[in-house]
Chains A and B, each alone.
Chain A
Amino acid sequence: MSVSILLVIGTRKGLWLARGNTGSGEWEVTGPQLPTTEVSAVAVDKRSSPRVLIGAESPHFGPSLLTSDDLGSTWREPERAPVAFPGDTGAALRRVWQIAPASESEPGVVYAGTEPSALFRSEDWGENYELVRGLWHHPHREHWFPGGGGQAVHTVLPDPRDNGRVVVGMSTGGVYRTEDGGASWRPANTGISAQFMPDDEYPEFGQCVHKVARNAVAPDRFYLQNHHGVYRSDDGTDTWESIADGLPCDFGFPIAVDPADPDVVYSFPLVAAENRFPPDGRCRVYRSEDAGRTWNGSARGLPAEGFWSAVMRDALCLDDADPAGVYFGSRSGEVYASFDRGESWSRVAAHLPDVLSLRAAVL
């Protein structure tokens, strides 16, 4: 059955939308909107009337968070800054890296992960946010330091079973989790490498985690793309084990899991931190159907050579169709879609600015 899809494409120089359906493979691409702003975070919240939320940064006039209640036709920016650090912190928002609506059992709750590394929580569908002070005051905070992209909380994963439990990922810092609604946090990096550290490769915290993913079907299973290393946790982030053996290389930025099947996971490997290109310049998405034990690279419909681009941490995603469509956007401004679980791909858009963030939803 064909379903209508909305793709929200955040780039380094503005926002594009693509509307299509799984049957025709044809897309109507519109944009740019918000020209010259970096759109580093996008979310589509379908818990009530659909709301699209984006984190955008003007190089002149700073960061903000905008919402649209008409599927991206018009955007609204609140009079007062929706995400702002309280005066006593002395900090200032540099960028919103992640917007994460909470589960159905918490209507109105939306989380925002930011640079500098902090978590904000909204209880009014993303209109106003408050700093989660438990994480901000964590004694480890003074030891977190910026990765190449900045010091940010880039992943926020609320637990669909328990509103008090949230997992965040940051670079650097690693994985932290709360079980008491954000009052206290503890690191959850056992088994994750920090290979760039000269002395201790497996510290309690300080890892450069690039992305963490889980789905609602198996909320104790997590996948993680690290700054070298790909991991799975089956025990709610208590421990992590490598699942990189079947991949051509263990560096990369995104990782995404099928929303209905916790064994199906997608990766876009790059050669190494010092060589951030797809192996042999071939554009390939790798898929595992057995929770990372084995991987297969899918290339049908993708550039076979000369692809010296990359996919950023929030530019690989799945929609909420059954079966789920898979999408990715590249730093070279291409967007691809697959409606057969990554077996074959078709191009949605090309020649856009660098794609930083991508989300897809069934309309």
Chain B
Amino acid sequence: MSVDPHEGNRARVTLRLPRMLHANAGGVGSLRVTLTDGGTLGSLLNELARTRPALERKLRDEAGTLRRHVNFYVDGEECRALRGIDTVLRDGGEVRVVPSVAGG
């Protein structure tokens, strides 16, 4: 997936998905998403809402809250230890989606 903003610098980010979400992403395990410079995890999810709604709603609810048992590692650090959905994504950065390992 690629987005061409009309203006401004761009940040190209790789989104890596667990196997159980591949079907929601059109059968692939990673997506390249292009955001305007200064784009955040929130703007990445907004972009997914526009282009991949079946994937986006697995990651956050309709009020914009991240799914409680889904972790978002931004360049190796879970976003909740950073600035949550306001975490700024860098050009060439990576967001890994990791469901919590729990339950019985």
A residues in contact (CB < 8 Å) with B: 36, 58-62, 64, 77-81, 84-85, 87, 90-93
Is B63 close to A, CB under 8 A? Answer: yes
Closest B residue to A91 using CB positions: B63
Can you list 9 A-B contacts (CB < 8 A)?
A60-B67, A60-B69, A61-B21, A61-B70, A61-B99, A62-B58, A62-B67, A84-B62, A91-B63
Question: Which residues of B are found within 8 Å of A87, using beta-carbon distances?
Answer: 62-63
A59 touches B69 (CB 8 A): yes
B62 touches A92 (CB 8 A): yes
A59-B103 Cα distance, complex, nearest whole Å:
9
Question: Which B2-48 residues have a C-beta within 8 angstroms of A?
Answer: 20-21
Tell me the smallest distance from the CB of A178 to a CB of chain B, in Å: 25
Question: Which residues of A are found within 8 Å of B69, using beta-carbon distances?
Answer: 59-60
Closest B residue to A80 using CB positions: B53
B99 touches A92 (CB 8 A): no
B53 touches A62 (CB 8 A): no
Question: Which residues of B are found within 8 Å of A36, using beta-carbon distances?
Answer: 103
Question: Which residues of A are found within 8 Å of B103, using beta-carbon distances?
Answer: 36, 59
Question: Which residues of B are found within 8 Å of A62, using beta-carbon distances?
Answer: 57-58, 61, 67
- Total of A-B residue pairs, C-beta within 8 Å: 47
Closest B residue to A64 using CB positions: B57
Closest B residue to A36 using CB positions: B103
Interface flags for B51-71 (1: CB within 8 Å of A; 0: not) read 001100111011101010110
With A59-B103, A61-B21: A92-B54 Cβ-Cβ less than 8 Å = no
B62 touches A85 (CB 8 A): yes
Most buried by B among A62, A77, A84: A62
Question: Which residues of A are found within 8 Å of B59, using beta-carbon distances?
Answer: 61
A288-B61 Cα distance, complex, nearest whole Å:
44
A60 touches B99 (CB 8 A): yes
B61 touches A92 (CB 8 A): yes
Closest A residue to B54 using CB positions: A79
With A59-B103, A60-B100: A92-B65 Cβ-Cβ less than 8 Å = yes
A92 touches B63 (CB 8 A): yes
A93 touches B54 (CB 8 A): no
A93 touches B61 (CB 8 A): yes
A79-B100 Cα distance, complex, nearest whole Å:
24
Which 5 interchain pairs have the tightest Cβ spacing?
A: A92-B61, A61-B58, A92-B63, A84-B62, A60-B99
Tell me the smallest distance from the CB of B70 to a CB of chain A, in Å: 6
Question: Which residues of B are found within 8 Å of A92, using beta-carbon distances?
Answer: 61-63, 65
Tell me the smallest distance from the CB of A136 to a CB of chain B, in Å: 14
Question: Which residues of B are found within 8 Å of A81, using beta-carbon distances?
Answer: 53, 57, 62
Closest B residue to A84 using CB positions: B62
Tell me the smallest distance from the CB of B81 to a CB of chain A, in Å: 19
Question: Which residues of B are found within 8 Å of A78, using beta-carbon distances?
Answer: 54
Question: Which residues of A are found within 8 Å of B62, using beta-carbon distances?
Answer: 81, 84-85, 87, 92-93
Tell me the smallest distance from the CB of B12 to a CB of chain A, in Å: 25
Interface flags for B88-104 (1: CB within 8 Å of A; 0: not) read 00000000000110010
A81-B63 Cα distance, complex, nearest whole Å:
12
Tell me the smallest distance from the CB of A57 to a CB of chain B, in Å: 11
